[in-house]
């Protein structure tokens, strides 16, 4: 099946509009009739195909009685739908908790992560997460225990129907985060996760020196129906890259990391050697 030309922001906008329509408990045909629209216009709006204005979006959201905060969110998404790439600055200062990322993780059927300095977030234990939080810049308005609980809940994404590949630099395995016991539990957790058939852990050894991931950590999400997306996280923002030039560059980086990393068995042996 050919992949559809769809963007992260377009999919998030479409999902938001579908939710607004769903809560009216009315059919698309009925809503179009009451707005004096062709039903195809409503379908195009939901699918992000164009041919609708911001005024049309406002009219639909007002009809569906969408709360003001959600209207502002959906309008901001609508204005972004024609851009290549999507920069998101989360209001709560927590980049890995933005709605866009969580939605895209659920849609993806293959996720590949490159992590240069820390154990990848999806493989972290709760104590490791706490140690990372305690060592970093903290926002007093954030309840970090709730954040950690939300991150742990996202482990439900680990399922045999998806494929996960984690490239981790050896320095991330050796960097002391928390106490000795915290690091021991974290490495044991990595070994346990590596036993799952749909999870592959590959270590890039320090011994090779310079490598293809020197520009920083990132994640590639692949879908059955859509083109891939690259996700990059900074301290205060996230960026989804969708243009062909960027996707080609990051795909090449992953291919080189595949050549430079130890295989799965060798990686497990290295992790075990750090434990001893």
Q: Is the pTM of this model over 0.85?
A: no
Residue 163 has pLDDT above 80, yes or no: yes
Q: What residues contact residue 145 under an 8 Å CB cut-off, 6+ apart? A: none
* 35 inside domain: yes
Q: Are residues 36 and 127 in the same domain?
A: no
**Burial call 13-28: b when 16+ CB within 10 Å, e when fewer:** bbbbbeebbeeeeeee
CATH value at residue 190: 3.30.870
What is the distance of C-alpha 253 from the center of its chain?
19
CATH of the domain at 37: 1.10.260
Which pLDDT belongs to residue 151? 83
Domain boundary among 54, 80, 106: 80
In terms of domains, do 171 and 234 share one? yes
Residue 15, domain member (yes or no): yes
178 and 227 share a domain? yes
The answer on 151 and 66 residing in a single domain is no
Q: Between residues 156 and 95, which one has the greater pLDDT?
A: 156
How many distinct structural domains can be found in the chain? 2
Average pLDDT score, the chain: 86
Question: Which pLDDT belongs to residue 85?
Answer: 56
Q: What percent of the chain has pLDDT over 90?
A: 45
Determine the Cα–Cα distance for residues 112 and 100; give it in Å rounded to an integer: 17
pLDDT in tens, 45-68: 777 666 678 888 888 888 999 888
> Do both 101 and 46 map to the same domain?
no
Q: Which of 46, 80, 114 represents a domain boundary (last residue)?
A: 80
Residue 213 and residue 176 share a domain: yes
Highest mean pLDDT among 36-40, 78-82, 255-259: 255-259
Pair 108, 244 in one domain? yes
Please say whether the dihedral angle defined by the alpha carbons of residues 44, 45, 51 and 56, taken in this order, is positive or negative: positive
Helix (H, G, I), strand (E, B) or coil at 53: coil
Q: Would you state the pLDDT for residue 109? A: 93
Q: Please check whether residues 252 and 124 belong to one and the same domain.
A: yes
Tens digit of each residue's pLDDT (9 = 90 or more) over 95-130: 555 667 778 888 899 999 999 999 999 999 999 999
Partners of 112 in beta bridges: 165, 220
Domain check: are 163 and 262 in the same one?
yes
Residue 204 · residue 168 · CB < 8 Å: yes
pLDDT of res. 130:
92
Question: Looking at the domain assignment, is residue 1 inside a domain?
Answer: no
Enclosing domain of residue 58: 8-80
Which pLDDT does position 3 carry in this prediction? 46
pLDDT digits (tens, 9 = 90+) for 194-213: 999 999 999 999 999 999 99
Q: Is the pLDDT of residue 84 over 80?
A: no
Domain boundary among 80, 115, 133: 80
Q: What is the pLDDT of residues 71-82, one digit of tens each?
A: 888 887 777 765
Residues 57 and 132 grouped into a single domain: no
* Domain match, 150 and 73 both: no
Does residue 36 lie within any of the structural domains? yes
Residue 104 sits in the same domain as residue 140: yes
């Amino acid at each position: 099946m050919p992949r559809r030309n769809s963007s992260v922001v377009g999919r998030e906008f479409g999902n938001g509009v579908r939710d607004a329509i769903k809560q009216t408990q009315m059919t698309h045909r009925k809503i179009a009739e009451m707005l004096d629209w062709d039903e195809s216009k409503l379908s195009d709006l939901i699918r992000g195909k164009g041919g609708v204005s911001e005024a049309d979006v406002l009219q639909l959201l007002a009809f569906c009685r969408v709360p003001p905060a959600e209207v502002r969110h959906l309008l901001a998404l609508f204005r972004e739908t024609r851009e290549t790439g999507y920069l998101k600055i989360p209001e709560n200062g927590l980049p890995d908790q933005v709605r866009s990322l969580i939605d895209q993780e659920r849609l993806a059927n293959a996720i590949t992560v490159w992590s240069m300095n820390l154990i990848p977030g999806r493989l972290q234990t709760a104590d490791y997460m706490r140690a990372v939080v305690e060592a970093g810049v903290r926002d007093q308005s954030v309840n970090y225990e709730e954040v950690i609980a939300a991150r742990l809940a996202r482990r439900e994404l680990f399922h045999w129907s998806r494929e996960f590949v984690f490239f981790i630099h050896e320095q991330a395995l050796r960097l002391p985060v928390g106490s000795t016991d915290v690091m021991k539990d974290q490495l044991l957790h990595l070994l346990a996760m590596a036993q799952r058939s749909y999870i592959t852990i590959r270590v890039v050894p320090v011994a090779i020196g310079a490598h293809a991931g020197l520009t920083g950590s990132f994640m590639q999400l692949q879908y059955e129906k859509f083109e891939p997306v690259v996700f990059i996280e900074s301290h205060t923002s996230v960026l989804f890259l969708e243009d062909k030039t960027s996707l080609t560059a990051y795909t090449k980086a992953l291919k080189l990391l595949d050549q430079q990393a130890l295989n799965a068995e060798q990686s497990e042996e290295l992790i075990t050697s750090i434990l001893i």
